[in-house]
Chains A and B, each alone.
Chain A
Amino acid sequence: KAGVTQTPRYLIKTRGQQVTLSCSPISGHRSVSWYQQTPGQGLQFLFEYFSETQRNKGNFPGRFSGRQFSNSRSEMNVSTLELGDSALYLCASSFGQGPIDEQYFGPGTRLTVT
């Protein structure tokens, strides 16, 4: 069974630009979560989508947004990029219907903002 895939794996952008990251979950999984990992703040939850609806949201500014498609694939968008947005962005998928649902992580997208 194929794992969680994220594209692109590496990205370099300039301040002020916007970026879109993509995540394809494991087949059959309907929940997709996004996390940001930085050396200073560690791993932080961004948001979670289930059946095309945002179910949970972390404490990030409105520049960070996402969406989920009918095939459960998800995209994350960051507008007006800042230097501090440089991070590893991780996507995780799960069935999303149980209280303690194992999440499977993709390899991440490394975003560098210059």
Chain B
Amino acid sequence: AQSVTQLDSHVSVSEGTPVLLRCNYSSSYSPSLFWYVQHPNKGLQLLLKYTSAATLVKGINGFEAEFKKSETSFHLTKPSAHMSDAAEYFCVVSPPGFQKLVFGTGTRLLVSP
């Protein structure tokens, strides 16, 4: 079975400092991995996706993630946090051949001035 583990339930950073949200995956096959963001009272928005084309994936709003097979990790990073980045972030895996997303438990990012 495919699953993801988000290692931190909450991450606090100051505006202008780097962001690191950690995710490890478990998959028998080459996985499709995603990061989604959910702002309060809004739906989920896709930040980026990994589909085996390149290990370093660039997404929207300055976010990027690196797929490391040896570490089974897919951590999300951003060089400089903005107040508007405060939200809940989900690491997601999709089993091959299925239109189905398996979500991690989420990491709430808090950004202080």
**Contact indicator A103/B101 (Cβ below 8 Å):** yes
Query: Is A12 among interface residues, defined by CB-CB distance under 8 A?
Result: no
**Contact indicator B96/A102 (Cβ below 8 Å):** no
Interface residues of chain B: helix, strand, loop or mixed (majority): loop
- Interface residues of A toward B: which range? 20 to 34
**Known pairs A43-B90, A100-B49, A100-B94; A90 contacts B44 (CB<8 A):** yes
**Contact indicator B100/A56 (Cβ below 8 Å):** yes
Q: Mark A1-40, 1 if CB is under 8 A from B, else 0.
A: 0001000000000000000000000000001010100000
**Known pairs A100-B32, A100-B51; A55 contacts B99 (CB<8 A):** yes
Q: Count contacts on B: residues with CB < 8 A to the other chain.
A: 23
Query: Is B5 among interface residues, defined by CB-CB distance under 8 A?
Result: no
Q: Mark B73-106, 1 if CB is under 8 A from A, else 0.
A: 0000000000000000010001011111111111
When the two chains form the complex, which single residue of B41, B46, B100 contacts A45, counting CB atoms closer than 8 Å? B100
When the two chains form the complex, which single residue of B97, B100, B105 contacts A42, counting CB atoms closer than 8 Å? B105
When the two chains form the complex, which single residue of A31, A58, A105 contacts B43, counting CB atoms closer than 8 Å? A105
Q: Mark A44-57, 1 if CB is under 8 A from B, else 0.
A: 11001010000110
Chain A residues within an 8 Å CB radius of B32 = 99-100
Provide the bound-state CA to CA distance between A67 and B76, in Å.
36
**Contact indicator A102/B45 (Cβ below 8 Å):** no
Enumerate chain A interface residues (CB-CB to B < 8 A).
4, 31, 33, 35, 42-45, 48, 50, 55-56, 58, 90, 92, 94, 96, 99-108
